[in-house]
Amino acid sequence: MRANNVPESVKRGIEDVKEGKLVLIYDAEDREGETDFVVPAASVTPQTVAYFRNEAGGLICVAIPSTAADKLGLPLMSDILKNVNDHYSYLRKVVEGKGDLQYDKRSSFSLWVNHRETFTGITDRDRALTIKKIGEAVERVVNGSDNPSDFYTEFRAPGHVALLRAAGGLLDERRGQTELSVALALLAGISPAMMICEMLDAESGSALSKTDAQRFASERGMSFMEGKEIVDAFYSFVSI
């Protein structure tokens, strides 16, 4: 890697996620304009889940690369709905259409799952177990040491943890929080399964502003990265 081409914020973020620490990623003004909490799935505890829901407040999801999703047999939810049988053909109408999403061409949602050892699936303990086990499943298929059908033995759906499938071309194709968090994991050389959650503003009812998110990170000594910084770092790496 040409270290001089990697922003200092990303260098710090890489070291933090290597240590299993929480980092903040802001996508871009011309996308969602949101900052997400991001942490490796392998590091998640019930306390991590509680912190995410209390301090961030958005939807807790797990982002994984398309290669792992393919091996695990996890399609986009929109593709599932587009291909339902004729008995449920009306469900095809709910799939996002052209222009439905103002910030992108499509969403990244795949299945919602619970690990089979959970009870309701929604408690901090249950979600932490599900998320850690997703991280382990991704690690195994990335290393080529797992049978993809094992995923369906280990997890059930519907559940309470949303899986997000990164674009096949990753940052070449899409630069949402899903791709940015997976790219950060790849830069750090860790298993590319990342728990993410949007930071919301209880007063405005909107996404927390970039300024407030930066202040939050600064006051707590956390890494804050912009999407464009991760993109620059990623292409500095892959160009070697």
- pLDDT tens column, 216-240: 999 999 999 999 999 999 998 764 3
Domains and CATH numbers, the chain: 3-238 (3.90.870.10)
61 included as an active-site residue: yes
3 state SS of 99? coil
160 included as an active-site residue: yes
State pLDDT tens for residues 96-154.
666 677 777 788 999 999 999 999 999 999 999 999 999 999 999 998 876 666 899 99
114 included as an active-site residue: yes
| 104 C-beta neighbours (distance < 10 Å), count | 15
Q: Are 220 and 66 in contact (CB under 8 A)?
A: no
Q: What number is the average pLDDT over the span 46-73?
A: 97
State pLDDT tens for residues 5-26.
788 999 999 999 999 999 999 9
Which listed residue (16, 32, 34, 36) is catalytic?
36
Per-residue model confidence (pLDDT) at position 240:
39
83 included as an active-site residue: no
Which listed residue (27, 34, 114, 179) is catalytic?
114
